[in-house]
Structure 1
Amino acid sequence: MISNNKKNNGAGKIRIIGGRWRGSILLVPKIPGLRPTPNRVRETLFNWLAPVIRGAHCLDCFSGSGALGLEALSRYAASITLIEQDKLISKQLFKNLQVLQTKQAHVITTDTHFWLAHSSYAKFDIVFIDPPFHQGMISKTVYFLEYYQHLAQKSWIYIETEKESPYPAVPRNWNIYKEKVAGKVAYRLYLRNSPT
């Protein structure tokens, strides 16, 4: 989740809020448009996912700070694939994985849509879609996930948008499980069932 604006020097921080790395502080580059999902939103989301997160294979489509993906891994997801096209941010994700001493995460430095179209990776149980705001990237991401068959038969998809955005266009077999608004952010968790 990164805009194409000019980068700033320095670093910000995120905190893991639950699980085995609870309280861990990780550095993130200070870059305009880099929007780590707020703690209270993450806490709500992972309360929703609590029954299914353990052992899940997860995909973070626009990783940015890695707040969502690393939180999932902290809560005992089996694996997380972090896709981030910005090289500076991707480099920091690698460093944070070294700090956490985990081999269950994979950072892929590329465009999300290119990767979805060309990857032969296994299907995912949980997918996080939190792209840069105001760039219209959600519909294409949803389409690619389905068209290239990256979703498990029963899977969970988290989508974060601007509060004022209309509901994302999703397939009929995606049903809203939970949704909420916090500040300027609307966030929704969908349950995908196998198409009939």
Structure 2
Amino acid sequence: MHPLLKEHFLKALDIYTQGVHYDTLLEAKKEYFTITGQANDDDDDFEARMNSFNEWYVLQFISMRGTRTVISDYLINNPVDDFLAKSLSGVNYSLFEYVGKNFRGYDTLYDMLHDKKITLPKGESLPSIIKDDIFVGRVLTYENQNYLMSGLCVIPKDVRGILKKECKKVRKLKNPGEELKFLLKIESFKTKWIRYGHVDATKIFKFS
């Protein structure tokens, strides 16, 4: 990730997880893990899930006692240049497929929800994904470069067709709130699938 994005994300996370903000953190944890399912520290994806929570908390969560996201509040109290503020405030939370490197050697994602391709900077280390992996994640864009964050929820590949159909339905709504609910539901299905590992994923990823 770009050093400035990382610096301010981590500062916001540090400030808003202690002191007067601790109750907000607890509220967020209760909401997130109620929706997506509890995280156990012996799960293989525990670290990725906690990273995903941290990203959701800082960039997307709005407390019942407030009107702004953590990052919006942070930027009011810690002004940065307009381009950096826009980047931190404009996270692309979506369902992605890692399609590998393009002909110019750039790692490329297909944003399944918004139907577009996203290239990542050369030299950026990818989280633990391989070609054709499907995952829920977040991308920040700064200075015309796209940066994939580390909080990924990797989805079983055999539900790709199901998710592609649902993405089309949600995309037509053009409603960010519905997109958020859809993506969190996918995360909850992934947790359920892990808990019931013997069940075919297509039996769990049902949206109707």
Query: TM-score normalized by structure 1?
Result: 0.24
Question: Which structure shows the higher helix fraction?
Answer: 2
Query: TM-score normalized by structure 2?
Result: 0.23
| Greater RCO (CA < 8 Å, at least 6 residues apart) | 2
